[in-house]
Amino acid sequence: MKIVLLLFQKELKLELRRRSVISGISLYVFSLVFICYITFSLRNNTISEATWSALFWLAILFSVINSVAKSFIGERKGLFIYYYSIASAQAIIFSKILYNTLLCFALSAVGYFLFSIFIDNPVQDQPLFWSILFLTSWGFSASLSLISGIAAKANNSNILMAVLSFPVLIALLLLAIKATKNVLDGLDRSTSTDELWNILAINCILTALAYLLFRYIWRS
């Protein structure tokens, strides 16, 4: 557990030290939102709740895939060997999932902020919306951390990352879009609890599997 926290702190410190990465990702999110804003010519038009939630989640999905992808892909070979000698595979994947959850959550928060400035803020039930954001960030990071580990070992890993992760993430994404739409429509909380429980269940399965499977890709 201690090692997990140490690794987590290391990730965070490294990330904060490399300003260029953070600014790169935030610029990426900003451009995505801005493109949505321009292409839908939102100065004159408004978009429906369904479109808002689909657009929002697509923007989040793309930025999250791009930012989490580097969790294993960007790292050098020597670093892997060093990790291997100091920590167990379980500790590493846990720290990555933990860190990536934080990253995804921060990204969704930034995305939401930008969306509410440029496009619209139709969210009425804030606590529910934030819990959806948190649960999906967790699910995204659990699956993307493992897949980035897989993709890092293969050739042309950046393309592979997208190809491998889309089918895995789609179930989560659909549930999130549906729950978000319920929130935007101002429906009662009880209508979304089913989706939230489903997302939570999928998250638990994915995290457990990532935990179990990671040591096999780590060993090579």
Partner 1 sequence: MKKWLKVAAVVILIFVHFGGLIFMVPRREIVNETIRAVYFHVPMWFGMVYLFSASVYYSIRYLKKPSPDLDRKSVEYANIGLMFGILGILTGMIWAYYAWGDFWHGDPKQNGAAITLLVYLAYFVLRGSVDNEEQRARLSAVYNIFAFAAMVPLIFIIPRITDSLHPGNGGNPGFNQYDLDNRMRPIFYLSNIGWILIGVWLVSLRLRLNVLTEKINEIEDEKN
Rounded Cα distance, 159 and 85, in Å: 30
Q: Of 73, 87, 106, 171, which one interacts with partner 1 (CB under 8 A)? A: 171
In the block, residue with structure tokens 């803020």: 121
The residues near 189 (Cβ < 8 Å, ≥ 6 apart) are 125, 128
Among positions 3-42, residues that touch partner 1 (CB under 8 A) are none
Residue 121 φ/ψ, nearest 5 degrees:
-130, 85
Which residue is listed with tokens 């951390």? 145
| Least gap, CB of 17 to partner 1 (angstroms) | 31
Contact residue for partner 1 among 178, 180, 181, 184 (CB under 8 A): 178
Q: Please pick, from the candidates 60, 97, 114, 164, the single residue that binds partner 1 as defined by CB under 8 A.
A: 164
CB of 63 to partner 1, least distance (A): 21
Total number of residues shown for the chain:
220
Scan residues 142-161 and list those touching partner 1 (CB under 8 A). 143, 146-147, 150, 153-156, 160
Confirm or reject binding of residue 168 to partner 1 (CB under 8 A). yes
Say how far residue 103 (Cα) sits from the centre of its chain: 7
Q: How does DSSP classify residue 43?
A: T
Asked if 113 is part of the footprint of partner 1 (rule: CB under 8 A), the reply reads no
| Closest CB 217 distance from partner 1, rounded Å | 5
Contacts of 36 (CB under 8 A, 6+ apart): 42, 55, 59, 118, 119
Q: Residues in the site for partner 1, rule: CB under 8 A?
A: 143, 146-147, 150, 153-156, 160, 163-164, 166-171, 174-175, 178, 194-195, 198, 201-202, 205-206, 209-210, 213, 216-217, 219-220
